[in-house]
Amino acid sequence: MSFNENNLIPCERVLPNIVLYIDHEIFDNQELSAVEIHFGECDPCRGQMEKENATLKLMRNLLCNAMNESAPEELNQRINQQTEDLYNQMLQEGDSDQITEITYTQTTYTEFTSDGATQIEITSEIRRQFPLE
C-alpha cells in the first residue's frame, strides 16, 4: 500500500478492504497496521467499517436464528408412530425383553467464527421408553 503525505494510506485503498479487515483476512502485518492507523485517523472510514461490521453481525445472527427451527408437529407424530409400530413388531417377534428405550439425537447449531469460517453441528433428540412386560 502506498502512503500519502500524512503517512496515511488513502481512503480509496482502505474502503475496498473493510470486509477483509473485519474478517481478519489481512495477513501482512505492515498492511494491517496501516489500515488500523487509517481507521484511527479517518472518522468516515472508521464509521463505514463499524457500519459494515454491525451489518455482518446482524446477518450472521439472522442466519443462526433461521437455522434453529423446530421440526413440524406432523413429523414428530410420524416418528412417534413409526417408533410405536417398530415396538409392536418387536413384541410380535418376541424381543420385548431386550428393548426398553429407543433414542435418536439430532440438533442444529451454527456458528460463524471470527476467522470467517462457518461451523454447523446437527443434533436432535427423540426418546421413547417402553414398559417391560
Instruction: Tell me the pLDDT tens digit for each residue of 38-76.
Output: 999 999 999 999 998 888 888 877 776 666 666 778 887
In the prediction, which pLDDT does 50 show? 93
Output 15 or 60, whichever has higher pLDDT. Answer: 15
Overall average pLDDT of the 111-117 stretch: 63
Virtual torsion, Cα 61, 67, 68, 72, nearest 10 deg: 150
CA atoms of 71 and 8, how far apart (whole Å)? 54
Q: In terms of pTM, does the model score above 0.75?
A: no
Q: What are phi and psi of 129, to 5 degrees?
A: -100, 135
Residue 34, Cβ neighbours under 10 Å: how many?
20
Q: Which three cell numbers stand for residue 72?
A: 413440524
In the prediction, which pLDDT does 121 show? 61
Q: Which three cell numbers stand for residue 91?
A: 413384541
Residue 71, amino acid: A
CB 90 within 8 A of CB 96: yes
CA atoms of 85 and 4, how far apart (whole Å)? 76
Residue 45, Cβ neighbours under 10 Å: how many?
20
Residue 62, helix vs strand vs coil: helix
Matching residue, cell 481512503: 11
